[in-house]
Amino acid sequence: MSDEPSWRQSVEAAQINMRAPEIRRFYSAADVSETDGGFALRLDGRIARTPAKAKLIAPARALAEAIAAEWSAQGEIIRPAAMPLTRLANSALDGVAHAIPETVVEIAGYAGSDLVCYRALEPEPLASRQAAAFDPVLAFAEGAFGARFVLAGGLMHVPQPEASLQAVRAAVESYAEPFALTALHALTSLSGSALLALMVAQGATTTESAWAAAHVDEDFQIERWGADEEATLRRAARARDFAAAALALRALRG
């Protein structure tokens, strides 16, 4: 049996490290320097490291500068929750970099039961909103990857064409660089849709439109029954992570 950690173990270890207690700011300045492996985050002139002691080096200057901006914005106490790009970088370097094939499988697997394929039969206003939000995503998948998907009424699982699933997997594999794949995974898991994540990754929709599409059902229920305060706070945190992942992919596209 291999001693290498599984994909899930690698990512969970990175997430646990990122939940370390808040600590006092220990540096004066954060900046970026070019290095052989890309663009490094520097704190007071020294290259920063991830919780697992990897050098925090991003493949694109724009991304490294956005990470440095998070560190510059910290006050007396460093608050990891307010640093979504740094957390993404830690996951990329400490987790996903060691489990790229497994991460590809994890993301592509969403296409088998993708959010945008499952439609409400009633009430009609919700069905209409879903169609308006989801149909462009399916049109994108067909146009970009030649992948056609079967719609399901309600929650009953419907098998998807194998050719379409393979096309999505090939598309995901094209992002098989740790930072890009980590960002794509975040978009997928936060939205429940690999197709929507790929649409954002390719710049075929805006971050705001994608987030709204992923929450059509939730927003419909909020309009009818009102919002829960704790749920609203959790959603806001998830929205920040979604926006950070989209920003990372834009930076990597150049």
Q: Which of 21, 20, 87, 94 is nearest to 53 (CA)?
A: 94
Given phi > 0 = left and psi -120 to 50 = alpha, else beta, which region is 10? alpha
Q: At a CB cut-off of 8 Å and minimum separation 6, what does 35 contact?
A: 47, 57
Residue 232 and residue 227: Cα distance in Å, rounded? 7
Which has the minimum average pLDDT: 2-16, 120-134, 182-196, 230-244? Answer: 2-16
Q: Domains along the chain?
A: 7-98 (3.30.2180.10), 100-253 (1.10.3580.10)
Residue 96 and residue 10: Cα distance in Å, rounded? 7
pLDDT at 7: 53
Q: At a CB cut-off of 8 Å and minimum separation 6, what does 146 contact?
A: 167
pLDDT at 144: 98
Residue 177 and residue 8: Cα distance in Å, rounded? 18
**Tokens linked to 131:** 């169609």
Q: Is the peptide bond before 123 cis (omega within 30 degrees of 0)?
A: yes
pLDDT at 67: 98
pLDDT at 11: 59
pLDDT at 1: 44
Judged against a pLDDT cut of 90, whether residue 9 lies above it is answered with no
Q: Which of 76, 215, 88, 193 is nearest to 140 (CA)?
A: 193
Residue 96 and residue 224: Cα distance in Å, rounded? 40
Residue 117 and residue 154: Cα distance in Å, rounded? 10
Condensed to tens digits (0 to 9), the pLDDT of residues 107-135 reads 999 999 999 999 999 999 999 999 999 99
Instruction: Between 34 and 19, name the one with better pLDDT.
Output: 34
